[in-house]
Amino acid sequence: MLICTGTTLAVSSAESETSQSTIWSVLQRLSGPQFQPFLNNRHKKRSRAEEEPVGLKVDSSFLKFVTMGAIGTRRVFELMTQAGLQPVELERYSSSNKIWATKVKRLRLPDLLCVRTGLRVEVRAKSKLSIKMSDAPANPDRRWNTGLVAGDMAAFIRVAEGENGVQTAAENCELFWIGDMVATENGSKLGKPKSATEGAEQDREWPSTVAGDSGVVQAVGDGRIATLLDSDRRQTYQLRGKIPYVQQGERFLGETQFLAGLPARKAAFPNPNETRWNPRALLKSEFSVDRYAAVNLNSAVGCATGEFSPVNRVFFLLISLFSPINRLPRLRSVL
């Protein structure tokens, strides 16, 4: 059972215990004829050479983290809208925890895209705020920045889990340019490999400082940040090579804001009145994600006259069908 209100969603753990055999039997009853060949052949034995290793999460863990990501994405969507941007989902599953027939891990796209400015945002929801991305160094298709370019943005947001499994997103998010993260990748730390049930990836984390309580910055200098917390306790944070993101006299938020970090700066949403974007210019891009975004967003932007004609719809549909990005499996909802 799912209870959803805005950026808060409660999950009943009872339904997460559905067995694999039960799921397949439900799919066989509910799916249309186009899925029957796939379902009927799923038990077909393949050689080891044909099989591709896949890391699968257990049901409860998968549902928890997918829900957390969806809540974080919705909140960042709201913050982009408040900033005057016009965000849309670049892929439909980014703000939903629905069950999909296929969710291919190597298909990596930014979660959100602003129609007005072209800004692409990758959202990372964390139970404990950190500059952390999933990485598979040995797999070029699963690197932490696959599908991202220097001008894209990463949004980190804390999603707290309260009693009864209710998850709530923070009021703010922390932004960094992908280019700044790439420039400081050598200073990041690669964690231990996750278990096979967690996807067999590793966490790559950039050093950062997050206060446990809100307060005011007293001083910044001599390799440290001196603060006065709301609890009237004085707290000093050592920089140790990190860049301070706060100034003397500035108020900060506990648990949801970075005081310092390895990337050279924080990012901010652009002014939509100063930047205009035309996705049609990306149709000839060598980067497949650019072409994918252009094809999918032309219907939102419209043609030169401000209307999207039926002829143009057919034209962009044909581009979408024959674009190299479509050699990657597409997601289909069956429930």
Domains and CATH numbers, the chain: 2-207 (no CATH), 209-257 (2.40.50.140), 279-327 (no CATH)
pLDDT band, very low/low/confident/very high, at 260 (cuts 50, 70, 90): very high
What pLDDT sits at residue 29?
A: 54
Distance CA 304, CA 309 (A): 10
Element (H, E) at 233: none
Task: Say which range, 47-61, 188-202, 274-288, 303-317, has the weakest mean pLDDT.
Answer: 303-317
Distance CA 43, CA 278 (A): 47
The residue that leads in pLDDT, 172 or 47, is 172
What pLDDT sits at residue 256?
A: 96
Q: Answer yes or no: is pLDDT of 109 > 60.
A: yes
Instruction: Give the gyration radius of the chain's Cα atoms.
Output: 22
Helix axes 310-322, 288-301, angle to 10 degrees: 160
What pLDDT sits at residue 128?
A: 94
Q: Answer yes or no: is pLDDT of 67 > 70.
A: yes
Nearest Cα to Cα of residue 65 among 199, 230, 182: 199
Model confidence over 278-297: pLDDT tens digits? 777 787 888 878 887 777 77
pLDDT band, very low/low/confident/very high, at 80 (cuts 50, 70, 90): very high
Distance CA 182, CA 149 (A): 9
Q: Answer yes or no: is pLDDT of 166 > 50.
A: yes
The residue-averaged pLDDT of 300-311 equals: 48
Residues 6+ away with beta carbon under 8 Å from 163: none
pLDDT band, very low/low/confident/very high, at 324 (cuts 50, 70, 90): very low
Model confidence over 45-56: pLDDT tens digits? 555 444 445 455
Distance CA 240, CA 86 (A): 39
The residue that leads in pLDDT, 96 or 111, is 111
Task: Say which range, 160-164, 179-183, 259-263, 265-269, has the weakest mean pLDDT.
Answer: 160-164
CB 66 within 8 A of CB 97: yes
Q: Answer yes or no: is pLDDT of 157 > 70.
A: yes
Q: Answer yes or no: is pLDDT of 313 > 90.
A: no
The gap from C-alpha 174 to its chain's centroid, in whole angstroms, comes to 13
The residue-averaged pLDDT of 156-169 equals: 89
The residue that leads in pLDDT, 159 or 315, is 159
Among 41-50, 131-140, 260-269, the range with the most confident prediction by mean pLDDT is: 260-269
